[in-house]
Every structure is written in C-alpha cells, then in structure tokens.
Amino acid sequence: MVTADLRPTQVLVNEQAIFENIQQAQRLAPHTRIFAVVKADAYGHGLLRVARIAHLAKVSGFCVAVLEEALALRQAHFTEPILVLGIVAPELAPLAAVHDISVPVGDEAWLKAAEPLLAKADTPVLKVHLAVDSGMGRIGFRQPQAIAKAAAFADAAPHLLVEGLFTHFATADEADTQYFDQQSARFNTMLQALPKRPRFVHVANSATSLWHQKTASDMIRFGVAMYGLNPSGRALPEPYPLKPALSLVSQIVFAKQIHAGDAVSYGATYHAQQDEWIGTVPMGYADGWLRRMQGFSVLVDGQRCEIVGRVCMDQFMIRLPHEYPFGTPVVLVGTSKAATITLQDVADYASTIHYEIACNLTQRVVRRSISRL
C-alpha cells in the first residue's frame, strides 16, 4: 500500500514514551530479561523504529509473530536474540537457523520433519522453544509425556537445541485469577516433565509482568505495555504509570455550512437539525478509522466535535461549533488543549480493544516520530 505522506493525516510516535515504558519494566523486574514484542509492525508503531528504541533501552531480545518480521530485523542489523511466536513451517527451519532465529514447536512431528532438512542444509543449530498449551487453546503440547518425548528427540538431534519452554495466559489481565492459577499449575507440570530446564522458561506477557510478578519467568515478552497501553483496558489499575506512545492527527481540508434537513454521507443516516458547519477530515476506513465510528468525537481546538454520517473509505465529516479554516488541526487520538481522547476511548466506542485499533491503522497513514531519541 502507498503511504500518503503528503496528506495531513499521520500517526505520531513518541519515542521517549516507549523508552521510558521499557525502563519501568526493567526497574520492576531487574533480574529478568525483557524481550520487546514488535510483531504486527510494532502494534502499528513501526517495526524498525520501535526495535531501535528497544535496542537503545538495552532489551535482551525481540519477539515477533512471523518469520518475515524476524528476517526484517536481521536485515536491519539487529543482533539480539529473536523469537518467532507463531508456528513456522518445518521447511523454513534451515532459513531460521542460518539467521539465528528461534522458533516455537508444538509437537514432536515438527521436530522430526525439521531435523533432516537442517542436516541436509548443514545449518547451524536451530534453537527451539517448546510451546505449552496450558489453557489458551492455541498452540503447544498438552501432555507431559508428549513434551518429554519431544525434548528427548531434540536433545539427541545434532541440529536442534531446546532453548526455551513457554506458555501464554488467557486471563492474566483479569481480576479473577482462578483460570490463571490453573494454567500456571499445568505449565509447572509440563516443566517438571523435562529432563533439564531450558535456558529460557517464560510465561510473562505484559499483563503477567504487571499483575503477577511472583510468577517464575526467565524473560518477559513485553508487548502492549511497551506502547503505554494497559493490557486490561480499564479492568485493572496499572502498578506504575504507562505513557501512551501513539497519537493520531489530521486536519480539516474542507468546511461548509449546511442547513436544516440536509444529509451527510452514505445512506443519508445524518440530517442536520439546523444550520451547521461541517468539516471534512481526510481519513477513513481504508486507513483503519472504522466505519462504525459515526457518532464518536474528535478534537478541534480543544472541543469535542461529533462524527456525523457514516465514515467513508477515505474521509469522514464532523460537526463544528463554527467555521474553521482549511488546515485546522484535528486530533483523533491524543490531546488538544485540555481535552484528551485515548486509544481506549476509541476502542470502547467501537466495542473492541485498543490493540485492534492500533493494529488496524494501515500503512497508508504515515508514521512520524516525536521526542526522537
């Protein structure tokens, strides 16, 4: 997708905020390795930008979702350990090994398929992290006997090294810890089934690191909190202040006065009740500003202005208190004078989570750094 860097709509990324969020996590867990989770273009903040900030903050490594993201980091000369969190095809095992990229394994069959391919390619040892499905229902071993058998196979294989064991909690961001405790117990049973403890035993995502600090983990997969977002939304208070890193801004590119009864946008779902000033903002659902945001507000000159009519593919309209000139700033996420709209506010209105709002912002929206390190 083409990036519209000549258009006033832009994501502003506060680099200092990301850096300080990492520092807070390091202070909270001074003896635990921090792996910065930069998957999905760093939750919409920019993969290489955030990796550079995390490198400056001296993180121990990176987590990504797919092999291509790991390769992009290697091509950008990041040398820290990298763990892919999603299953990679066995046929790609030699590529991962050559670039020193660790991959997850959820069954013995994967190891048996990858070992001969690694041997044929005569690659370096491939580092694997055995995934445990302790209750997430996504990937991983479910039986102690199965994981012990797989670990034994890997230990005997010349081109495989069990570097880690991990799981992912489904409810670490909830006040009720019953299911979390069940998952912890299941994971510990799987850990005890291994003949030896791997280098990395990790269970902590952002939520676990914030609210379950007593959980034994050799590393923290520090994701959404790195970007200053509370993993629980509004359910749990943060143990320390998180600094949101993302703002979304644009400008008024057209303003006109309409009259009582006049309609705005597709489907004519909005009709003016009286004479009104309507401003047009150059952003739409093709940029990730969801069609269902009709009725939400943005900020103009510190005032909340309602989105009227359906959000279009590339534009939406807002009701203004009076006429504003071309180029007047519009804040979709962030602060204007004394007023603030957060990603959580947007998510609440859209009946979703802030992760989705940030990740939905497409590459057509240019990203620019502020408070650059």
What are the binding residues for substrate?
138, 313
Q: Which residues are annotated as a binding site?
A: 138, 313
Instruction: At 245, list the tokens.
Output: 């890193």
Determine which one of 58, 256, 266, 337 is catalytic.
Answer: 266
* Residue from 321, 350, 351, 345 nearest 332 by CA: 345
Determine the Cα–Cα distance for residues 371 and 52; give it in Å rounded to an integer.
Answer: 14
Determine which one of 39, 43, 270, 285 is catalytic.
Answer: 39
How many CA atoms lie within 13 Å of 208's alpha carbon, on the beta-carbon side?
26
Residue 91 exposed, middle or buried by CB count within 10 Å (0-12, 13-18, 19+) = exposed
182-185 long-range CB contacts below 8 Å, 24 or more apart?
Answer: 182/134, 182/135, 183/134, 183/135, 183/136, 184/134, 184/215
**Is 39 among the residues known to form the active site?**
yes
**Is 349 among the residues known to form the active site?**
no
Q: Could you give the angle at the alpha carbon of 175 between the alpha carbons of 174 and 179, nearest 5°?
A: 65
The pairing of strands 10-14 and 246-251 is: antiparallel
Determine the Cα–Cα distance for residues 69 and 82; give it in Å rounded to an integer.
Answer: 10
Q: Could you give the angle at the alpha carbon of 70 between the alpha carbons of 170 and 5, nearest 5°?
A: 95
Instruction: At 67, list the tokens.
Output: 């092999």
Q: Scan for tokens 């534009």, then name that residue.
A: 315
H or E stretch at 126 = strand 126-131
Instruction: Please give the positions annotated as active site.
Output: 39, 266
